[in-house]
Chain A
Amino acid sequence: EPEVTQTPSHQVTQMGQEVILRCVPISNHLYFYWYRQILGQKVEFLVSFYNNEISEKSEIFDDQFSVERPDGSNFTLKIRSTKLEDSAMYFCASSEGGGTGNEQFFGPGTRLTVL
């Protein structure tokens, strides 16, 4: 069964460093998402992406964040200058369609630890 994959599974970085989290969505999906979950808290929407541009972003997704689909398979989330509060699990998701009822398939997550 096709699945969303994410690398790395765990990333440790120093405050102020740039990190890139990578995701490979399901191949025939057209809509891509990033969510964040701070330890012990709820899952929060960051951004949705379609047709090589951001469709929607939350208030969390400030200028420190960017997303890119550099080729036909990868979808990346970049954090330009990490802060301690960026420590969280980051989930990538993809869906075939963009409408409300389309199931979003989640990857296993990348745990980001900022020291």
Chain B
Amino acid sequence: AQKVTQAQTEISVVEKEDVTLDCVYETRDTTYYLFWYKQPPSGELVFLIRRNSFDEQNEISGRYSWNFQKSTSSFNFTITASQVVDSAVYFCALSEDGTSGSRLTFGEGTQLTVNP
């Protein structure tokens, strides 16, 4: 069975600090996708990024970067120069191979608070 673990329940930083959110996953499949979603205080789920299991190339997009390592089953997410608007709950999610609709398995979420 698939499982996603986000060990950090809460992180608090001061604006402009860099922060890394950890995600560890478990799956028996060789084909899978990993996602990060952001849930601001307003409650909606905002898609941030998806990576497939065959693409370990790390990526930078503006202030966001992702570090995917299959060897350690980790998919960590870093925000550089954090801002108050980054305050939200961040969820890591896993999707395994499926053809008739693939369920997302979410981690417990990490509450990020960025203080001015």
A positions within 8 Å CB-CB of B:
31-33, 35, 41-45, 48-50, 55-56, 58, 89, 91, 95, 98-109, 111
19 contacts between A and B (CB under 8 A): A42-B91, A42-B109, A43-B93, A44-B106, A45-B104, A45-B105, A48-B100, A48-B103, A50-B100, A56-B101, A98-B98, A98-B102, A99-B99, A100-B96, A101-B50, A103-B50, A106-B37, A108-B43, A109-B43
Which residues of A sit under 8 angstroms from B103, Cβ to Cβ? 33, 45, 48, 56, 58
Q: Do A56 and B100 touch (CB < 8 A)?
A: yes
CB distance from B85 to the nearest CB of A (A): 18
Which residues of A sit under 8 angstroms from B45, Cβ to Cβ? 43, 91, 106, 109
CB distance from A49 to the nearest CB of B (A): 7
Q: Do B100 and A42 touch (CB < 8 A)?
A: no
Which residues of B sit under 8 angstroms from A48, Cβ to Cβ? 100-103
Interface size class of B (residues with CB under 8 A): 20 to 34
Top 3 nearest A-B pairs (CB, nearest first) are: A48-B101, A55-B100, A55-B101
With beta carbons under 8 angstroms apart, the residue of B32, B101, B109 that contacts A33 is: B101
Q: Do B97 and A100 touch (CB < 8 A)?
A: yes
B positions within 8 Å CB-CB of A:
31-33, 37, 43-45, 47, 50, 52, 91, 93, 95-109
> Which partner residue on chain A sits nearest B4 by CB separation?
A42
With beta carbons under 8 angstroms apart, the residue of A35, A58, A99 that contacts B102 is: A99
Q: With A41-B108, A42-B107, A106-B44 as known contacts, state yes or no: A98 contacts B50, CB within 8 Å.
A: no
Q: Do B106 and A42 touch (CB < 8 A)?
A: yes
Q: Do B98 and A100 touch (CB < 8 A)?
A: yes
> Which partner residue on chain B sits nearest A53 by CB separation?
B100
Q: Do B43 and A102 touch (CB < 8 A)?
A: no
